[in-house]
Amino acid sequence: MKTTGLLARIGLFFCLSACLTACRPELDFDFHQNSQASFSGSGENYTVLFDAESGVATIDLNASGSWTAEFVNGRAYWCTLSAMEGKRGVATLTFSVQSNGEYDERSAAVVFTCKDLKRTIVVTQKQRDALLLSSGRVEMSADGGSFTVEVLSNIDFSHQIEANGQSWIRTLSTKGLEKSVLTFQVDQNESLDKRIGTVTFAGPTSQETVTVYQKGETPTIVISEDTVSLTAEEGVFKVEVASNVDATLQVPEDCDWLREIQTKTISTHTYQFAYDRNQARTARTCYLVFRNEAFKKVDSVQVEQGQVPILKEVQDVYIPSTGDVVTLATSAAVQSFDQFHYDATWFEPAGMESDPDGNRFSFRVGPNPEQKMRAVPVSVSIPGFAEPDVFQVRQYGPYPSFSYVTTEQEVVVPKLDEGEIPYLVFWGDGSYERYTQDLQHRYESAGPHTIRFEGHSFLFLLLPAPQDGMRYDFSHLNLP
């Protein structure tokens, strides 16, 4: 739920104490409220928080010498500072932000430098119609410590530390009514590895997440996720990067289907990428690498893109010598029989049906007049695709067979020798399938049922002993 912004005016003073001998300059801060922004932070890092509406925040800067201000990673179009440099003395500066109509929070960092001192102000603007938190991200050093989150809301809400941070993030306190200030403790990170935790604030109709990035003991580049999974259609995705060193993006040359969108409409911590439609018949992968050469630090994210399905299941089709109707399930992109390609007069269209997941094409196969198996390769293509789906339709000849009668409702096939041509199992209830070891079948009704096995040759049979109601028939094996 959207809430009114806190009234804030921020005074920022840079001062140097004059002394007869050389002494270190000091920076003092004094903060005053105004009507359009709120302030939080301490030490060397501060945050100016705006809600989604446009607004201004005034800063009184008192410097002991010449000073400069610089936006980190380039100036954001939506945020401006009235002056980027000045001389010794007092200067009144204004941060101005445009209205944020996007659904994502955005931020821009400004570093003020006076002689050998630096102070950073991060300007954060919330998205429209959101549960209002002071910030959606917290960056902690390896030493740990505490941080606070201000929640401005006129609705009941709850918070939960997710599993990825429960062992090292703890809630210390909650105070306030309409304005709730929650304090969290972060334990020291004694390993060299980065870690990420999340705290979720939930209301009846919306929720917000604070992501806590904690650095390791050494300079670290932190990527919000290890793997990004994409659909086969074209689109856009984002990668969140937090680091305490400069990170350079490297995209491999063979990943020409993926490219960075260099926009200034999102946070300076966010990289945005566009990707093309995958026209191949296989999935593809690209590794985006973020590297710092000075500290020999590197991290990467694996981007995986799937392929558009043509057939729901691509495998060879086996048909008995007596013929049958074969039904193939396809994606909605296959809309006519003209997209099937084959060279056989005995394999012919029989009808098409549509369902919410795609289309179903039926083909009729008549009896096989030959004394051997016949086959035809079939390919299915989609316009614009580099490769089709290809499978084989194989029809048996009038091969030898044997059968037995069973009264069991659940059966497991006996063990047969597996030759070059697989056997077909006819269950006696109108269904059949290709033989595999330990193949099972359940009947809808009680038996008896006659199970028949048809194949090119039977060199080895391991049959169960006849039981009540079971009868074997080997008369069609063509035994000498």
DSSP one-letter string for 310-327: SBSS---EEE-TT-EEEE
My answer on whether 19 and 93 are in the same domain is: yes
Q: Where are the beta strands (DSSP E) in 64-194?
A: 67-71, 79-81, 85-86, 89-97, 106-114, 117-125, 132-133, 137-140, 145-152, 158-161, 169-175, 179-186
My answer on whether 334 and 425 are in the same domain is: no
Residue 412 domain boundaries:
401-473
Q: Give the chain's domain count.
A: 5
Q: How confident is the model at residue 129 (pLDDT cuts 50, 70, 90)?
A: low
Report if residue 14 sits inside a domain. Answer: yes
Report if residue 310 sits inside a domain. Answer: no
**What pLDDT score was predicted for residue 443?**
92
Which amino acid is residue 300, in one-letter code?
A: S
Tens-digit pLDDT profile for residues 241-286: 877 677 888 899 889 999 998 865 555 678 899 999 887 777 899 9
My answer on whether 192 and 246 are in the same domain is: no
My answer on whether 190 and 288 are in the same domain is: no
Report if residue 311 sits inside a domain. Answer: no
My answer on whether 2 and 124 are in the same domain is: yes
Report if residue 478 sits inside a domain. Answer: no
Report if residue 479 sits inside a domain. Answer: no
Of the three residues 94, 128, 162, the one that is the final residue of a domain is: 128
SS (H, E, C) 431-446: CEEECCCCCEEECCCC
My answer on whether 203 and 227 are in the same domain is: no
Of the three residues 395, 423, 451, the one that is the final residue of a domain is: 395
My answer on whether 376 and 405 are in the same domain is: no
My answer on whether 164 and 255 are in the same domain is: no
My answer on whether 380 and 409 are in the same domain is: no
Domain harbouring 389, CATH code: 2.60.40.10
My answer on whether 19 and 137 are in the same domain is: no
My answer on whether 117 and 36 are in the same domain is: yes
**What pLDDT score was predicted for residue 233?**
86
Q: pLDDT at residue 454 above 70? A: yes
* Best-predicted range by mean pLDDT (56-60, 264-268, 372-376): 372-376
Report if residue 480 sits inside a domain. Answer: no
Q: pLDDT at residue 42 above 90? A: no
Beta bridge partners of 359: 330, 354
Beta bridge partners of 85: 68
Which tokens hold the place of 221?
């580049």
Least confident of 264-268, 337-341, 350-354: 264-268
Of the three residues 395, 413, 434, the one that is the final residue of a domain is: 395
My answer on whether 324 and 443 are in the same domain is: no
